[in-house]
Copies of this chain bind each other. A is one copy, B any other.
Amino acid sequence: MELKGTSIIGFNRGSSGNRTLTGFNPASGVALAPTFYAASAAEVDLAAKLAHQAFASFSRTSGKTRAKFLREIAENIEALGDVLVQRATQETGLPEGRIQSERGRTCNQLRLFADLIEEGSWVDARIDHSDPDRKPIPKPDVRSLLRPLGPVVVFGASNFPLAFSVAGGDTASALAGGNTVIVKAHHAHPGTSELVGLAVLEAVQSCDLPEGVFSLMYGSGNEVGTALVKHPLIKAGGFTGSRSGGRALFDAAVSRPEPIPFYAEMSSVNPVVILPGAIHDRSEQIAAGLAGSVTLGAGQFCTNPGLIFLAESDESRSFVEKLGALMSSSPEQTMLTQGISTTYKQSVAGRLQHRSVESVAATPAVQQSDGCGAKSALFLTSAEEFLANQELSEEVFGPSTLVVMYTTKEELLTLLDQLEGQLTATIHANDEDMNSSAGLLAALEAKVGRLVFNGFPTGVEVCHSMVHGGPYPATSDGRSTSVGTRAIFRFTRQVCYQDFPDGVLPDELKAGNPLGIWRLVDGQISKD
């Protein structure tokens, strides 16, 4: 399939102006054809107008219709076969196996949302029947459900070229809920984006959906993304990326004349608390698991464990040595982009030079790895130094982690209390640990969206219960998740109908429950 390099605007392709960008193979350092063209301001406006127009009808399609659409997107992505895998591998430096499994996840989550909306109960339909005889005033008939917000802008993420990009989590949940979507392609994988974008476009057309349900825009800087977020017809947004980039877009979203919801997933160090009993019982196993989790995918996961809390002891010291040995022996990996690799090396250099930090498995050689290469790094500090140096709690995006040794349980609680919001926190403990750790769970829960017990935070299960989101800065709006079926609530709002004739009501609220969904009827959950 030949790539054109232009935006997809409704059913048409964008222009090829003079602002361009190019894919780049981080493993070889070679630029990848073709040239891609940034969308113009007029094209941003056109895409938003098409998305607005399409919303009027797309938002009123049935769950069945949208389920078919999501399944066709998944099929079209799979039909791209090796072309997609090769392009994604070239543009990201990620191994073929990882891209294949990410493609599987991407298609699975589209199908999970398809099942969800085909079944239909997710809309939280509620009915309170009228009581004309109530005193002092009659009770009206009130019915409500969740409805989509409008056109949503979704930013592709560098670290998940498929699962968090063009047809990734936010796109799937937004479309599932009946919103229209404009994706801003990530500049690091423009070809992957075009391939997936065309797969979505084909599904829009084969399902006879209106032009504007989906568009894909390229941009070479912040201009296109910011213009989309600020466009009056855009009603929400989703982003995964850097803290500075996410905050800038969030600020743009909430300072509009009409502020809009904006979910920016930005920064998380994913603390791991390993209690003494766990160290005693499972030292080898935890060290191996942790080394694998820190270095997985060159440490480029949002849930990468970047902070490890250990109680000061000989066993803990020995654990740190084991972990250091494992991490030192892990092979150099290729990072996603030159920018990410450079930032990683600078961050590691900062820790190497930090007077309060001991290097366990990081040598200056880390900085010298070629091009986009990255070697893993393990650092050690004390609770006292950690509390005194705010910069040590900041995320280092890459295969690096920091062990903090504390001395008392109170000190551990103090350490946890001053952490910022996180996507995850992990506890390793045996029964005795748990019995003697009052307050630990509450302290961790206050900071995170997901708590992991005796496991590792990388690997996010796509299911109904998953929460991948957390208090700021993990997510700019930490009330919801970007993974799993709960994510459909991101792009919805509550709407109610008072005293409406049955024929005009949405099917979800009609008498006789024609869709057979679970509803809350006069306070009782039922399928009646």
Q: Which residues of A contact B (CB under 8 A)?
A: 55-56, 59-60, 101, 115, 121, 126-128, 136-137, 139-140, 142-144, 147, 149-150, 250-251, 254-255, 258-259, 261, 420-421, 434, 439, 441-442, 445-446, 448-455, 459, 461, 463-467, 469, 471-473, 476-481, 486, 492-501, 504, 518, 520, 522-523, 525
Contacts and interface: CB of A to CB of B under 8 A. Distances in A.
B434 A464 contact: no
Given A442-B60, A504-B441, A496 B467 contact: yes
Contacts of A464: 126, 128, 520, 522-523
Contacts of A504: 434, 441, 453
A251 B255 contact: yes
Please state the number of chain copies in the assembly. Answer: 2
A483 B55 CA distance: 28
A477 to B, nearest CB: 7
7 contacts: A101-B136, A258-B420, A434-B501, A454-B499, A455-B498, A464-B523, A466-B496
Given A142-B461, A523-B464, A498 B452 contact: yes
Contact of A128 (B465, B469, B478, B497): B465
A254 to B, nearest CB: 4
A259 B472 contact: yes
B143 A465 contact: yes
Contacts of A479: 149, 261, 492-494
A476 B261 CA distance: 10
A499 B453 contact: yes
A467 B145 CA distance: 9
B455 A140 contact: yes
Contacts of A476: 259
A49 to B, nearest CB: 12
A430 B115 CA distance: 38
B494 A469 contact: yes
A495 B127 contact: no
Contacts of A136: 101
A150 B442 CA distance: 12
B494 A486 contact: yes
B150 A446 contact: yes
A487 to B, nearest CB: 10
Contact of A463 (B128, B420, B448): B128
A256 B127 CA distance: 39
Given A143-B465, A461-B142, A463-B128, A453 B496 contact: no
Report the 7 A-B pairs with minimum CB-CB distance, sorted nearest first.
A467-B496, A126-B465, A254-B254, A142-B465, A128-B463, A144-B465, A479-B493
B498 A450 contact: yes
A255 B252 CA distance: 11
A415 B137 CA distance: 33
A441 B500 CA distance: 11
A139 to B, nearest CB: 6
Contacts of A128: 461, 463-466
Given A439-B56, A494-B469, A525 B254 contact: no
A128 B486 CA distance: 13
Contacts of A494: 449, 467, 469, 479-481, 486
Nearest to A251: B255
A211 to B, nearest CB: 18
Given A121-B525, A464-B128, A493-B480, A459 B258 contact: no
Nearest to A130: B461
